[in-house]
Structure 1
Amino acid sequence: MIHAPSDLLPALIALRRTLHAEAEVGLVLPRTQQRIVEALDGLGLEISTGRQLTSVTAVLRGGEPGPVVLLRADMDALPVVETTRLPFASPDVAMHACGHDLHMAGLVGAARLLAARREELAGTVVFMFQPGEEGYAGGRMMLDEGVLDAAGERPVAAYAVHVDCTTAGGTAVTRAGAIMASASGMRIRVTGTGGHAAWPEHAVDPMPVAAEIVLAIQSFVARRIPVSDPAVVSVTRISSDSAAGNVLSATVDMEANVRSLSRETLQLMRTELPRLVTAIGEAHGCVVDAEFIDSYPVTVNDPGETDEVFALLDEVYGPANVVRLPHPSMASEDFAYVLEEIPGTLLFLGVRPAETPAARAPGMHSATAVFDDGRLDTHAVVLAELAWRRLLRA
């Protein structure tokens, strides 16, 4: 088992809090990129940066021959105004409310642990620092820019850790198979003619048609999707071009968020939902334009790799503190793009502060979310040990 030196945790906490205070959103994170490059300096890594996004890819070549393993951390924050009042709270309209600051610090720690044992390392480790996880598909962009070939050959396995501020510290959580849902979207425009609210019979009013579409979408999920293969469709926005209470709108715009746990169900919704809403519009004399927007695929953990992850977690945390999720989450993750190409595992580590009762813990993405960074050394050890063991059993 790899052991963290006593000076690692204070260094990782300092790095995490610096990253937290300088939170940046999206694909272009210049300050964050600079901090990561500085934190990796002196480790003898082959470092490259992205072309379309401010990613960082670092390659550690071991002293012994062997295959390649990839470890990933996401880098971006959310457009949330932080209200935690922590001394290192972000002063900007951005906050690491999903724990990506801990992910970066933990991966830097893993790089330091593995670099210290480079001569014994039987293979190569790629460290993938990825912007744009929060809806920008930065993982897909890094794949397009060649991160999986950064070491000259493709990885045999890939791992990522995600922290969770609602799960007790010292707890690890994952599952084999689908662990997180796909996330897609649908944009809908319903076009009628507009007119006077007093005489709707002289117009084609798109508003009740939009209301019927909302109900039809919910019925579609309830009646066309099997309960054994769940899906969620949420209409998240409705707006019209009417600027007055006595004016019927000519157009109504809608957006929906679409989530599923299988490729088959995703394909069904991709085909049938636009057909359904278009037909409803036609039945009422409206024109409906529906655009289905593919985003993150289902995140699927490889069963074999996940068995090995559970074995390590049982050692590190104790079997009583390792949770085997019975069901996937309907949230999404763009590490899914990597796992479509490379067998691997996404796992969650609990970092709820000890003083925060479970019932009062703010959720992820909350302006009041607080993460215990006192376990970053264990976070780093888990990532480093996963890479080490996978290379040994190649």
Structure 2
Amino acid sequence: MDILLKQAQSFLPALRQLKDDLHRHPELSWRETRTTALLKEKLTALGLELIDLGMETGCAALLRGGKPGPTVALRADIDAIVQETPEEGEVVSEVPGVMHACGHDFHTAGLYGAACLLSTMREEIAGNVAFLFQPAEETTGGARIMLSHGLWEKLPSKPACVFGVHNRPQIPAGKVAVQEGPLMSEKANFTIVLHGVTGHGGTPQKCIDVIVPAAAIIQGIQSVVSRNTAPEDPLVCAVCSIHAGTPENFSPDHLTMTGSIRAFSHETRMMAQDRVERLTRDIASAYGCGCDFTCEEAAPLLFNSPVMTALARRAAASVVGEENIVGTAPEMSSEDFPEFGREVPYFFYWLGSGFPDRENAGWHSPKFRTDDSALAIDAALLARSALEGLAWQG
């Protein structure tokens, strides 16, 4: 058994305790104040240097090795989502309507475990390891803000590489997915605002109703995927919220809808964005409505390079054995982890967190749960990746 995994298993109860604490006290994006304070306390107790980014939530800490060398970064996200927790199980959220339903409490505990492992061997380490506890991944803004606050400049050197892990309920605990190429999609968020003329619902001829053109726009957007892209070129164009009207006998004069566009190709995403905007404006005009359309990139494509995949595979094989490394299909959900990789090489793992012999609920489900025996693998995998990264002659 890998020595790091053996050590991580020895303090697995402490990792579970931290994860359970975070699960009971989830915090939404940019509100992770309790989580941040707890992490700073624990990281300081390990003898790590806190890096002042001038941010209210999230934190970064540095371990300086006993020998000179490069810097490697490890990242976990810390925020929760709006989700009701079913009243079942020993550990449930104590915050109404907020839950760690994507496993960021799991990620945070795993990265803390990696810090525990590496801090015990700091004199042997040639280089530095930065531990990044990122806020606001769910709103895909935290990574960009950490970098804008001078993260790389405040380290001894720009990282040679950075690693991240996300739990995967569809993969059983004990397995690690090491996948080359696209893993999670590029994403842009759009907002459509329609302007009409309000009036009585019984005299529609005197109004410019925004509900009917909104329905036509939604139908039109679906045609972008079915008629403007090849079947083998993955694309999602989704309207995710609609807000309009109050009384049942009024035609509203204002409607807002939001949605997202996801693709594995930047060219495909930009084509879809252009088509969605043109369809929206043309349909609104045909119905006599005014229209505002905005679209902004929310997350870049997550793409594991061949070189970093080879490095990550060595780390994973050391921890779980080659027989427990699996491949996986890419996912059309998105992550802002690649923001850290705009200037440095990166790799992103999917770590098995599913319970064996049962159906496991996916991310963002109120029934989402993790097999916390995998926390030791998370900690050891990140620690081993850091050591591989420090030794890498890239």
* Same fold at TM > 0.5: yes
Structure 1 runs (4+) greater than 6 angstroms displaced: none
Deviation sequence 1:139-177 (CA, Å, 0-9, x none):
111111122233232111110111123321111113222
Structure-2 residue corresponding to 1:25? 28
Q: Which runs of 5+ in 2 are unaligned?
A: none
Task: Select the residue among 70, 87, 90 that pairs with 2:90.
Answer: 87
Name the residue aligned to 1:75: 78
1:8 alignment partner in structure 2:
11
Q: Distance in 1 between matches of 2:101 and 2:253?
A: 39
The offset of 1:228, in angstroms, is 3.1
Matched residue of 1:256: which SS? strand
Determine the structure 2 residue equivalent to 1:149. Answer: 153
Any residues of structure 2 matched to 1:346-361 within 5 Å, and which?
A: 346-354=348-356, 357=358, 360-361=359-360
> For residue 61 of structure 1, what is the aligned residue in structure 2?
64
Equivalent pair of 2:319/2:384 in contact (CA under 8 Å): no
- SS of residue matched to 2:262: strand
2:385 equivalent in structure 1: 386
Aligned-partner SS, 2:82 = coil
SS at 1:185's partner residue?
Answer: strand
Deviation per residue, 1:234-289 (Å, 9 max, x gap): 112233335224x3332332222221212222222333422321122222322111
How far the C-alpha of 1:179 sits from its partner, in A, is 0.7
Aligned residue identity for 2:239: V
Report how far residue 335 of structure 1 moved.
0.6
1:134 to 120, 128, 138: 138
2:310 pairs with 1:307: yes
Determine the structure 1 residue equivalent to 2:211: 207
Question: Structure 2 CA distance, aligned partners of 1:340 and 1:142?
Answer: 13
RMSD after superposition: 2.0
CA contact (8 A) 1:166 1:364 kept: no
Residue in structure 2 matched with residue 369 of structure 1 by the alignment: 368
Q: Which moved more, 1:117-126 or 1:253-262?
A: 253-262
Mapped pair 1:44 → 2:47: yes
Q: What letter matches 1:81 in structure 2?
A: E
Out of 166, 170, 174, the position equivalent to 1:166 is: 170
1:179 to 161, 180, 183: 183
Amino acid in structure 2 at the alignment position of 1:108: Y
Deviation at 1:136, TM superposition (A): 4.7
Aligned residue number for residue 109 of structure 1: 113
Q: Is the 8 A contact 1:74 1:104 kept in 2?
A: yes
Q: Could you list the runs of 5+ residues in structure 1 that have no partner in the other structure?
A: none
2:347 is matched by which residue type in structure 1?
T
Answer yes or no: is the 8 Å Cα contact 1:126–1:150 preserved in 2.
Answer: no
Query: 2:84 corresponds to which letter in structure 1?
Result: V
Q: Which segment is superposed worse, 236-245 or 19-28?
A: 236-245
Deviation per residue, 1:266-322 (Å, 9 max, x gap): 222333422321122222322111111321121122221112212332343333432
Identity of aligned residues (%): 34
Under a length normalisation based on structure 2, what TM-score does the superposition of the two structures give? 0.92
Which amino acid letter does the alignment assign opposite residue 69 of structure 1? V
